[in-house]
A and B are shown apart, each in its own frame.
Chain A
Amino acid sequence: MTVRLMQGNEAVGWGAIAAGCRFYAGYPITPSTEIAEMLSRELPKLGGIFIQMEDEIASLAACIGASAGGLKAMTATSGPGFSLMQEHIGYAAMAEVPCVIVNVQRLGPSTGQPTSPSQGDVMQARWGTHGDHPIIVLYPTSVPEAFELTVTAFNLAEKYRTPVILLMDEVVGHMRERFEAPPLEEVQVVDRMGTNVPPEWYKPFGDTIGDVPPMPSFGSGYRYHITGLYHDPMGYPTQRLDEINPWIERVQRKISNHLDDILMYQEENTEDANMVIVAYGATARSARHAMKLARQHRHHVGLVTLYTIWPFPEDVIQRIGRMARRVIVPEMNLGQLALEVERLVGRHKVIRVNRADGEMVSPQMILDAIEGR
């Protein structure tokens, strides 16, 4: 076990490599650039491909193309680039092509404040593309988690044939922390399911073996069609309701039936809590500190840290809502995930703690909310 000081963005790069990522396409943008720089250095050593594309639209397109070609692919960006990528996130969801999109958030909207932290893209990550489709969004709070959740992002993308978004705070991306590198062979890696049926039997979007169809790569002898149009089990465009509806249901099901596998969260001191903080990302660190201070003042405060923010962990939040008198939701935005919490526990119970000026939500701000100041 080697211990070293590592930056969050760098940890994302190493996580990608450990997960088997061998293709990166991206466009330089603060505060995510270190991910591209480190992968341009490391991927060629492994025979992998790094390419700097002409924009973020092309970057995600190239990732999807590479993934169809059988390589695990990732891109990383920040707000403006993430906005440009939305159409292709939808394409990857529609065509069920695994890929990982990292968004190291900056303060927005527009060019905003490139080097300041913000959690303003929480709703965009869920609803940014047009149309309905499920999406998985993971959110680390620390450098080691940036590594682990990048690996998980790839594993979930491959397992469920879906784009997975890793949202990260600028402060986590640029922070350096102690990191104990696991030996590569100990990193659990999931690869997409292949197939050995005769090519003429293969259905790229069928449900014969479950909700996630196997995905052989282009060039492997299975010649099939990928499209962003609604398609039948063969991948051919369709307008038939009896083909569109089963697709919608299957793609929803492949996520909603596997919440136990996808949802990650951590509860601390919730057993006796009458006040619970629900937090994610760097804000969860402030929340943990606030919880400790509050407990010293004999307040029964618990903390739920969300590592999967989409799909939203409804069951745990509902349980917290039944148990707690107040639910505190600190966010570096004007109240985004608080909307989900309010939907589940009732607006009257939720105390929002927000700031969207490029500064962290401080432990004191959360403590003030706990103590009703």
Chain B
Amino acid sequence: MAKNEHTAYAYLRTTKKFPNIWCAGCGIGIVMGALIRAIDRIGLDKDDVAVVSGIGCSGRMPVYLDFNTMHTTHGRALAFATGLKLAQPKLHVIVVMGDGDALAIGGNHFIHAARRNIDLTAIVINNAIYGMTGGQYSPTTPLDMRAATAPYGHVEPPFPICELSIAAGATFVARSTVYHAIELDKLIEKAIRKVGFSVVEAVSYCHTTYGRMNKLGSSVDMMRMLKDHSITLAVAEKMMPEERAMKIVRGVLHDVDKPDYLTLYQKVIERAQATIDGKEFLRAGPGGLE
């Protein structure tokens, strides 16, 4: 296959100078590839896709993608995306966040976007660390691990991203890893197709900071850990809870149907327009209410 025939090339910005910002061996590029394959398979028009991100390594993804793209502030990507989706309902709005981005500074927006069930696709790339700022502990850093701000070991328990999403009201929740690239793109495809708030946790790693500080080896070693420590949902269901707790469980963890925010808000518009003074205002301006 010639270089420019690769699926990804049709979705990358030719005007943006590569190489990308990520460290060699990083998993974020794999998530970007999976996202592109998912969009390609669904056959979405590039004009109808928006990718919104926050701040951090993952926040840099949209700039490479030839869609409507927005690189917002730390933790607030979902709030920006909410406004964009409500203004342009035809857009498929995909929000790419890191774990610190989505769950620490953005934790409030995350649970409320899920509660509202606004039709967004949230991809949380979980590397359990703040990579861009140099490896400080995040809300998903496991207990006892080391980080730039946990030199004596981490004492806070981690947030389980998928369980949190389900509890907060997301309609579709799935998890995979950057080792399982093909599985990941299938899950992202399902998430985009789902009407409602959908979450895909893409478990990744940061060999540059977390891996180095915890002596976990190279990116290849960390990739192998994702392979060895993860299991499918079918396998997990046969396991004892304590055994399962040590594993990364992959697959669709939650999939329910309920009306999304915009569908319900349409009812608000219909009810409001049925009132008389609304029509009066349209005719005569603010004074027309009298």
A interface residues with partner B (beta carbon < 8 Å): 1-4, 6, 14, 17-18, 23, 25, 41-42, 44-47, 49, 51, 53-55, 57-59, 61-71, 73, 87-88, 91, 147, 179-184, 187, 217-221, 223-229, 234, 236-237
Contact = CB atoms under 8 A, between A and B. Distances in A.
B188 to A, nearest CB: 20
B63 A46 contact: no
B273 A44 contact: yes
Contacts of B16: 234, 236
Nearest to A237: B63
Q: Which of B52, B63, B273 has the largest count of A CB atoms less than 10 A from its CB?
A: B63
Contact of A66 (B84, B268, B271, B282): B84
29 contacts: A1-B287, A2-B287, A3-B287, A25-B83, A44-B268, A44-B269, A45-B277, A51-B82, A58-B109, A61-B72, A61-B73, A64-B83, A65-B79, A65-B83, A65-B84, A66-B86, A68-B70, A69-B86, A73-B83, A87-B73, A91-B72, A179-B286, A183-B284, A184-B284, A218-B68, A225-B63, A226-B71, A236-B63, A237-B60
A231 to B, nearest CB: 9
Interface string B70-108: 111100100111111111101100000000000000001
Q: Identify the 5 closest CB pairs spanning chains A and B, nearest first.
A: A2-B287, A181-B287, A69-B87, A65-B83, A45-B278
B47 interface: yes
Given A42-B281, A65-B84, 16 more contacts: A4-B289, A14-B286, A17-B286, A25-B83, A44-B271, A44-B273, A45-B277, A46-B278, A55-B108, A62-B83, A64-B72, A68-B87, A183-B285, A218-B50, A218-B88, A227-B70
B79 A61 contact: yes
A237 B275 CA distance: 48
Nearest to A59: B79
A337 B109 CA distance: 36
Contacts of A147: 286
A62 B82 contact: yes
B62 interface: yes
Nearest to A23: B87
A69 B80 CA distance: 10
Interface string B31-49: 0000000000000001110
B83 A61 contact: yes
A12 to B, nearest CB: 11
A4 B288 CA distance: 10
A65 B287 contact: no
Contacts of B201: none
Q: Which of A6, A25, A62 has the largest count of B CB atoms less than 10 A from its CB?
A: A62
Given A3-B287, A58-B76, A65-B83, A227 B68 contact: no
Given A61-B72, A65-B82, A182-B285, A2 B87 contact: no
Contacts of A229: 71
Interface string B158-192: 00000000000000000000000000000000000
A45 B287 contact: no
A220 to B, nearest CB: 8
Contacts of A17: 281, 286
B243 interface: no
B71 A225 contact: yes
Contact of B80 (A62, A217, A223): A62
Contact of A228 (B71, B272, B273, B287): B71
Nearest to B109: A58
A226 B88 contact: no
A47 B79 contact: no
Contacts of A237: 60, 63, 71
Nearest to A6: B286
Contacts of A45: 269, 272-273, 275, 277-278, 281-282
Given A54-B108, A61-B79, A23 B86 contact: yes
A182 to B, nearest CB: 7
